[in-house]
Structure 1
Amino acid sequence: MKQKTTSLLYLSRNDVASVPIAADELVSEVGRCLAEVAEGKAIQFPSYIMPVSETSRFVAKSGLIRNPSICGIKWFGYFPGNSDIKFPDFHPMIMLNEAEQGVPVAVLDGTWISEIRTAAISAFAAKHLALPTSSSLGFIACGAQALAHLNILKDVFCIKKIFAYSRKVATAGEFCRKAEAMELTTEICESPQAVLEQASIIITSVPHASETNLQLRGDAVASGTFISMVDRGYSWNAESLLSLDTVITDDMALSGPGGMEAINFDAQHLSGDLIAVARGELVRRADSDRVALIFSGPGIIDTAIASLIFQRASEMNIGVTLPL
């Protein structure tokens, strides 16, 4: 019988960010988690949404992994009006319970995890579906998601140049300065079109309320490009995406036909999901193919990465132990 747990670990935003996790380790964890789902060992659950106004809502995302046996839930409010008062519109927290007796073991700030898990999902997909010779990254929107993707993808591919577009030129400039500090060449683009025509790998993370929404076109993307649509495709013209050679999602059960996770694409035309990629059933067919991932980001990846951070933090005595 297991020893009774009498405490849990609390990890603040700074605690989480201080835990050393390499890019390849994060990408491998995504692959391992998806393989568990493919084998029926791990379970992904649909999001639970609690609207509180026309624009604001609370969301719960959860998942169950088996190695180790952990159930996690990420709870966050999305309040876009907070930007008017210079306050974050998104502040996630993650709770982990061991899944054998149901005892809570950790509470973590989910900000860094939300950013990096999304980038790790993109990197896993790109590792399997982008051209291995990809040497440039293109970003349409240059916020926290763009920086998280840059930090991971520069270590997965031999990246030499960054193309950046933001509605605010100053935002793109600040992002490029960070990329230049990583010894990368940068170019601030005057239009999203310039990014679509030049970058090997493209990340779009445009906020839903942005005026850029529905302006990007799939038929403008250069041959051989891989695209990760972190914004669920809402910055793209959905009809134009049918011109791409392959469009996949994270989980057909959640974002495919009849799924509860909405994406801006006709799910009937999806070629598959990341679970099929993890199984080795879905691969790039030709160097010239333009491949896109449109995904909602299931909570099981949050659970897997939060569990990894919890284990590492426990080993390194990071965080605050609280009594149950």
Structure 2
Amino acid sequence: MHAIHDARRTAASLPWDALADEIEALLRAGAARVPPRIVMPTGDGSVLFVMPATDGTVAMTKLISFTAANAGAGRPTIQGEVSVFDVASGERRLILDGPTVTARRTAAVSALAARHLAACPQGPALIVGAGVQGRAHLQACAATLGVRRFVIASRSAASAQALVQHAHSLGLQAESVADAHAALARCPLVVTCTPANAVVLRGPVRADAFVAAVGAFTPQMRELDAGLCRHFAEHGRIVVDTRDAEHEAGDLLQAGIAVAPLPSLQDVLRGPQPPRGGPVLFKSCGWAGWDLAAARLALRQGA
């Protein structure tokens, strides 16, 4: 027997603080085995992703489609599921909603990185992009970092206002701005989570800024201006989510920045902490290990 969780139940099984803690525990243990994900273009900018991972006890595979054209058609851009197995018996234990897992684990990773890297993790926070990831990051920053004030920027004024209203429903302060750059001077915490088909942030950023760049996950995609990326490299620090970013971090690759020497989030958690100073860029591309952490937590929550 296995349980099937819809989007609502999947979200309920992945509370923000517990999910960030689970991801940190997985990285510190270093026992996850995560082969390179299969990325198969299916035409017209659409992609099918197959992402397996195991820790020797739990195994899971996320199978999702990414259809960029759906953004303007009223359909979700990410669809699919996460199948979770018990390694010892081979039994399928759980099926989770793929888009919900993707949204929550991505935002939880950003919040985890901010815990350890941000000079001012309590914000105020600027969120550039008011879609699914914008909403997830707003919730994660509020629940995990204690952020109470948000500034929302989006190409769609209606989407920005909808996210502002969602923030108000959670008892948070929020406002929308037409120009993201206008808020950089007052927001030390920044998240970019757009479709990454155009540069949305050029800077300048504050000396104590922490920017989580989430939207770009292929060499062709980018959200950050090349000059801004180089500013982080020269005057602050760049951390990538995993070593896979070496061939996926379009923001950095298009800026001519060598990704291989950069520390990963696991390096940050398992190594000595360098003194803080200058702005920090956290470049996130995604990794099946985050989905594995979500699967482990969801199994325990349902036990």
TM over 0.5: yes
Aligned to 2:212: 228
Contact 1:59 1:76 in 2 (8 A): yes
Aligned to 1:216: 201
Q: Give CA-to-partner distance per residue, 1:251-302, whole Å, 9 cap, x none.
A: 12x112xx4x34320351553110111203344522xx11011111101111
Aligned to 1:322: none
Letter in 1 for 2:62: K
Aligned to 1:243: 231
CA distance in 1: counterparts of 2:269 and 2:213, whole angstroms: 19
1:285 to 276, 279, 283: 276
2:43 to 48, 53, 59: 53
1:202 to 190, 194, 197: 190
Shift of 1:70: 0.9
Aligned to 1:10: 4
Aligned to 1:319: none
CA gap of 1:83–1:280, structure 2 versus 1, over 3 A, is: same
Aligned residues: 292
CA distance in 2: counterparts of 1:101 and 1:273, whole angstroms: 34
Aligned to 1:152: 140
Contact 1:106 1:310 in 2 (8 A): yes
User: After superposition, where does 1:86-235 map in structure 2 within 5 Å?
Assistant: 86-132=74-120, 134-209=122-197, 213-217=198-202, 219-232=203-216, 234-235=222-223
Contact 1:165 1:195 in 2 (8 A): no
Q: Secondary structure at the match of 1:163?
A: strand
Aligned to 1:298: 287
CA gap of 1:281–1:54, structure 2 versus 1, over 3 A, is: farther
Q: Secondary structure at the match of 1:159?
A: coil
- Which structure is higher in RCO with an 8 Å CA cutoff and minimum separation 6? 1
Contact 1:23 1:155 in 2 (8 A): yes
Letter in 1 for 2:296: S
Letter in 1 for 2:276: R
CA distance in 1: counterparts of 2:121 and 2:201, whole angstroms: 25
Shift of 1:80: 2.1
Aligned to 1:309: 298
CA gap of 1:17–1:190, structure 2 versus 1, over 3 A, is: same
Shift of 1:133: 5.9
Contact 1:97 1:106 in 2 (8 A): yes
Aligned to 1:4: none
User: Which range moved further: 143-152 or 99-108?
Assistant: 99-108
CA gap of 1:82–1:189, structure 2 versus 1, over 3 A, is: closer
Contact 2:189 2:211 in 1 (8 A): yes
Q: Give CA-to-partner distance per residue, 1:90-111, whole Å, 9 cap, x none.
A: 1120011222343322222122
Unaligned runs of 5+ in 1: 1-6, 316-324
- Percentage of pairs with the same residue: 22
CA distance in 1: counterparts of 2:276 and 2:72, whole angstroms: 46
Contact 2:193 2:214 in 1 (8 A): yes
Contact 1:73 1:95 in 2 (8 A): yes
CA distance in 2: counterparts of 1:60 and 1:262, whole angstroms: 19
Contact 2:5 2:96 in 1 (8 A): yes
Shift of 1:119: 0.7
CA distance in 2: counterparts of 1:208 and 1:22, whole angstroms: 27
Aligned to 1:44: 34
CA distance in 1: counterparts of 2:171 and 2:5, whole angstroms: 32
Q: Give CA-to-partner distance per residue, 1:39-63, whole Å, 9 cap, x none.
A: xx21222220121213112111221
Choose 1 or 2 for highest CA Rg.
1
CA gap of 1:108–1:156, structure 2 versus 1, over 3 A, is: closer
TM-score, normalized by length of structure 1?
0.83
Aligned to 2:20: 27
Contact 2:111 2:145 in 1 (8 A): no
Contact 2:201 2:224 in 1 (8 A): yes
Letter in 1 for 2:46: S
CA distance in 2: counterparts of 1:97 and 1:73, whole angstroms: 9
Aligned to 2:251: 264
CA gap of 1:57–1:309, structure 2 versus 1, over 3 A, is: same
Contact 1:139 1:195 in 2 (8 A): no
What RMSD, in angstroms, separates the aligned Cα atoms of the two structures?
2.0
CA gap of 1:55–1:33, structure 2 versus 1, over 3 A, is: same
Letter in 2 for 1:264: D
